[in-house]
Amino acid sequence: MSELRVLAVASEIYPIVKTGGLADVVGALPTALQAYGIETRTLVPGYPDVIKALAVAEEFLHVPEFFGGPARLLGRVHGNLNLLVLDAPHLFARPGNPYVTPDGKDWPDNGVRFAALSKMASEIGQGAIPSFVPDVVHAHDWQAGLAPAYLHLAHQRRPATVMTVHNLAYQGKFPHHMLDVFGLPRESFSIHGVEYYGMISFLKAGLQFSDRITTVSPTYAREIQTSEGGMGLGGLLRERSQVLSGILNGIDISVWNPETDRDIAARFSATELDPRAANKLALQRRFGLDPSPNALLLGVVSRLSWQKGLDILLENLPTILGEGMQLVLLGSGEADLQHAYQAAAKAHPGRIAVLIGYDEAVAHLIQAGADALVVPSRFEPCGLTQLCALRYGAVPIVSQVGGLSDTVIDVGEAGGAATGLKFGPVTADALAGALQRANILWHDQQAWRRLQYNGLSTDVSWRSRASRYAALYRDVVAARRNQ
Ligand code: ADP
Ligand code: GLC
């Protein structure tokens, strides 16, 4: 099997910069792909944390003027990752969240910042680093969406391109007068180009001009071709359905390993679940919850945004309290939701606990100590927390959408093989039903154990899922060679 070279392009990468699951995927996939003869280098922006992580780096390029200032392209191996870094201080030397200002607004020059990232990807695609000329440029989400567009519009010899949608809700839209600043040709501003309802959309550009489109679950691949799930791009995605596929995400099972996890109170395994009880107690103590082993302890680890449906869970506080359950929530995001959950915790100490913020160690403890993990998303391209839950013996209670549908098996679907509970439609009533069903199962110890063991024996790793990407890369490279 010949080696293939892939340039991945993304705006975040675990463990250096992360705001969500995108970083996890971009950080884990390259290692998993090695087993299939794929060599990946990942181009990321030179945020302060990235530059710090590089220490001594190789300088591949120096460009005196690149989108408004000088830029360098640096390279360095970091752990398992082979990174290429766009060091452009005028665009990326800003601490904190990669996309928003300290007071929470999008950086006004986000278009320029991520056009620059994509442009650098296209230059690497066209041979800017002679020692690494990729066979495939793989763009992740809108921030990398212009990369396939630049490559296509250059009308030169180019690598194959793949665009992966991790979340169709973020489309990277900018005013059309930015066309020249982005270095896009006038004729590209059309319905068959980068134009989107009078604006320029980076995601649309990527979807329009890439050779292949993927998204992160088969169900989401179908949902985004409908008018509701398509969020304005359904028509284009239907037109391109021949090149669109859904490949499920995995998780890094060395980062998420209950046998070696240092963030939890007691380590356990797929065959030895009893120590989990100590994690539940540690979690209850850490959050001031009543140390009751009998109350079904629900966990949530999530961004607090409309997508995640946590307002629907909030409506179910009476169910949770009435059924004698407990809830621990770790998350941050929309101010209204943060305040509402904090108020609930204050009103029901011992029963409801909330930590507003981002804390990986606590996320691990919740997965290891909660009895169930609730993910009531309105839409979910894949979702990773339910995969972590399966691996950690927390029974997932999820809405029947996107990747949640594809990764959890409900009791009603396959009794003996079930791994969790699913509910639909995404309403407070349907969630109440699922919570009540869960509580009945919880009080049948054998039934609950079976759910846990089924979850623990589910393969949530990248191994087989990475092989799908490897096959896709080989296929698209062969198709381009034959053109
Ligand atoms: P999304 O990318 O839409 O936020 P995913 O489920 O794909 O959702 O990925 C979320 C990732 O971020 C998971 O690795 C999850 O553990 C992590 N995460 C989310 N919120 C927090 C938090 N408040 N603290 C720690 N980790 C979090
Ligand atoms: C997005 C989606 C999430 C998915 C993640 C990684 O953030 O919201 O469902 O798991 O990307 O693909």
Q: What is the mean pLDDT of each run of 10 residues along the chain (483 residues)?
A: 91 96 98 97 98 89 98 94 97 95 95 98 97 98 98 96 98 98 97 97 98 98 96 97 98 97 97 96 98 98 97 98 98 97 98 97 98 98 98 98 98 90 98 98 96 97 97 97 82
| Co-location of 216 and 300 in the same domain | no
Neighbours of 51 (CB within 10 A): 18
Its domain, for residue 367, covers 276-456
Q: Cα–Cα distance between 357 and 136 in angstroms, integer?
A: 37
- Does the beta carbon of 330 sit less than 6 angstroms from any atom of ligand 1? yes
Q: Cα–Cα distance between 212 and 365 in angstroms, integer?
A: 39
How would you list the strands of the sheet with 395-399, edge to edge? 352-356, 326-333, 297-304, 372-375, 395-399, 421-423
| Co-location of 440 and 467 in the same domain | no
pLDDT of residue 139: 99
| Co-location of 354 and 435 in the same domain | yes
> Within a domain: residue 267?
no
In total, how many domains does the chain have?
2
Measured by CA distance, the residue closest to atom 19 of ligand 1 is: 302
| Co-location of 213 and 310 in the same domain | no
Count of CA atoms in the C-beta half-sphere (13 A) of 339: 3
Q: Cα–Cα distance between 106 and 64 in angstroms, integer?
A: 27
| Co-location of 81 and 215 in the same domain | yes
- Does the beta carbon of 22 sit less than 6 angstroms from any atom of ligand 2? yes
Are 216 and 164 within 8 A, CB to CB?
Answer: yes
> Within a domain: residue 233?
yes
DSSP H helical segments within 192-297, as ranges? 202-209, 218-223, 234-239, 276-286
| Co-location of 13 and 42 in the same domain | yes
> Within a domain: residue 259?
no
| Co-location of 102 and 199 in the same domain | yes
- DSSP type of residue 169: T
Q: Cα–Cα distance between 315 and 309 in angstroms, integer?
A: 10
> Within a domain: residue 308?
yes
Distance 20 CA to ligand 2 centre (A): 7
pLDDT of residue 51: 95
Q: Cα–Cα distance between 273 and 283 in angstroms, integer?
A: 16
Best probe residue, ligand 2, of 99, 163, 377, 382 (max atoms within 8 Å of C-beta): 382
- Does the beta carbon of 167 sit less than 6 angstroms from any atom of ligand 2? yes
DSSP H helical segments within 176-295, as ranges? 202-209, 218-223, 234-239, 276-286
Q: Cα–Cα distance between 107 and 71 in angstroms, integer?
A: 19
> Within a domain: residue 265?
no
DSSP H helical segments within 133-217, as ranges? 146-153, 202-209
- Does the beta carbon of 170 sit less than 6 angstroms from any atom of ligand 1? no
| Co-location of 284 and 180 in the same domain | no
- In the block, tokens 């360098």 appear at 72
| Co-location of 56 and 179 in the same domain | yes
> Within a domain: residue 333?
yes
| Co-location of 233 and 305 in the same domain | no
pLDDT of residue 123: 98
Residue 146 has phi, psi (to 5 degrees) of -75, -15
Distance 421 CA to ligand 2 centre (A): 20
- Does the beta carbon of 20 sit less than 6 angstroms from any atom of ligand 2? yes
| Ligand 2 nearest-atom number relative to CA 403 | 9
Distance 21 CA to ligand 1 centre (A): 6
| Co-location of 323 and 242 in the same domain | no
**With b meaning 16 or more CB within 10 Å and e meaning fewer, what string describes 250-286?**
bbbbebbebeebeebbbbbeeeeeeebebbbbbbbeb
Closest ligand to C-alpha of residue 214 is 2
pLDDT of residue 1: 60
Helix axes 146-153, 202-209, angle to 10 degrees: 50
Are β-strands 195-196 and 160-165 bridged in parallel, bridged antiparallel, or unpaired?
unpaired
DSSP H helical segments within 169-267, as ranges? 202-209, 218-223, 234-239
Residue 113 tokens, joined: 């910042």
* Radius of gyration (C-alpha) of the chain in whole angstroms: 23
Q: Cα–Cα distance between 279 and 301 in angstroms, integer?
A: 16
- DSSP type of residue 6: E
pLDDT of residue 341: 98
CATH of the domain at 223: 3.40.50.2000
| Co-location of 239 and 304 in the same domain | no
pTM of the model: 0.97
DSSP H helical segments within 393-427, as ranges? 402-407
> Within a domain: residue 256?
no
The closest of 357, 312, 314 to 332, measured between CA atoms, is 357
Are 69 and 90 within 8 A, CB to CB?
Answer: yes
User: Residues in the chain, how many?
Assistant: 483
Distance 130 CA to ligand 2 centre (A): 33
- Does the beta carbon of 75 sit less than 6 angstroms from any atom of ligand 1? no
How would you list the strands of the sheet with 71-78, edge to edge? 58-63, 71-78, 81-87, 38-45, 4-9, 136-140, 160-165, 212-215, 244-246
> Within a domain: residue 262?
no
